[in-house]
Amino acid sequence: MPNRNFTAENLQLKDNIDICFKLNSRDVKIKVPCTYTLLDILRYELKHTGTKEGCGMGECGACTVIMDGGIVNACLVLATAVSGRDIWTIEGVSAKEDAKPIIDAFVAKTATQCGFCTPGMIMASYYLLSKYKDPTDEQILEGLSGNLCRCTGYAKIVEAVKAAARELNGAKKEARDA
């Protein structure tokens, strides 16, 4: 008969692990409980609270970060999978020059209301615009499909992404022409 006495002590889930990774271009070395997720590390250990905790099940996108060049839900990434990774949060991305048009467009188009989803939306938009220079509405909707907003109805968010794409394309054209 199998042992059904699954306790933290039996499974050794009380152990802490050392992890090293890059966060917004900085090296991080930290000891955390092995039961932590990347979201727990960011919010509770490193105080990067721009990454929001929404559903905790990877369905809302409030915890969207960029890991090794792709977007992930930080609530689904276990601490044991973080070592050696290159991670960008809203705090790091928002300081980048090529994110400014996205942030400005969200403000100009009033693409936020309560603001809870905004960091995740901006992260998804940043990633989307790194892949598609002039995205179609369909590409924008697909790119943002992992992010839920309960306030705006998405129309203004799509407008903001389109405006940011135009601004980014104009800035790149001006740089080439200079």
Q: Are residues 125 and 168 in the same domain?
A: yes
Give 137-171 pLDDT, tens digit per residue.
999 999 999 999 888 778 999 999 999 999 999 86
Give 94-132 pLDDT, tens digit per residue.
999 999 999 999 999 999 888 899 999 999 999 999 999
Residue pointed to by tokens 């200079």: 178
At 150, phi and psi to the nearest 5? -100, 0
Q: Are residues 101 and 85 in the same domain?
A: no
Q: Buried b / exposed e across 47-81, counting CB within 10 Å, b at 16+? A: ebebbbbbeeeeebbbbbbbbeeebbbbbebebee
Residue 13 has pLDDT above 80, yes or no: no
Residue 22 has pLDDT above 80, yes or no: yes
**What is the distance between the alpha carbons of residues 143 and 177, in angstroms, rounded to a whole number?**
30
β-bridge pairing 86-88 and 26-33: unpaired
Q: What confidence tier does 61 reach under pLDDT thresholds 50, 70, 90?
A: very high
What is the pLDDT, as a whole number, of residue 152? 78
Q: Are residues 41 and 79 in the same domain?
A: yes
Residue 17 has pLDDT above 90, yes or no: yes
Indicate whether 70 belongs to any domain: yes
Q: Are residues 101 and 169 in the same domain?
A: yes
Residue 174 has pLDDT above 60, yes or no: no
What is the pLDDT, as a whole number, of residue 6? 45
**What is the distance between the alpha carbons of residues 175 and 172, in angstroms, rounded to a whole number?**
5
Q: Are residues 69 and 121 in the same domain?
A: no
In CATH, what number is assigned to the domain containing residue 38? 3.10.20.30
Reported as type and span, the H/E element at residue 3 is: none
What is the pLDDT, as a whole number, of residue 115? 87
Q: What is the arithmetic mean of pLDDT over 34-45?
A: 96
Query: Of 89, 112, 127, which closes a domain?
Result: 89
The mean pLDDT value of the chain amounts to 90
Residue 2 has pLDDT above 60, yes or no: no
Number of domains in the chain: 2
Note down the domain range covering 56: 16-89
**What is the distance between the alpha carbons of residues 19 and 130, in angstroms, rounded to a whole number?**
28
Q: Are residues 134 and 161 in the same domain?
A: yes
Q: Is 171 exposed, middle or buried (0-12, 13-18, 19+ CB in 10 A)?
A: middle
Indicate whether 11 belongs to any domain: no
Q: What confidence tier does 29 reach under pLDDT thresholds 50, 70, 90?
A: very high
Q: Are residues 106 and 164 in the same domain?
A: yes
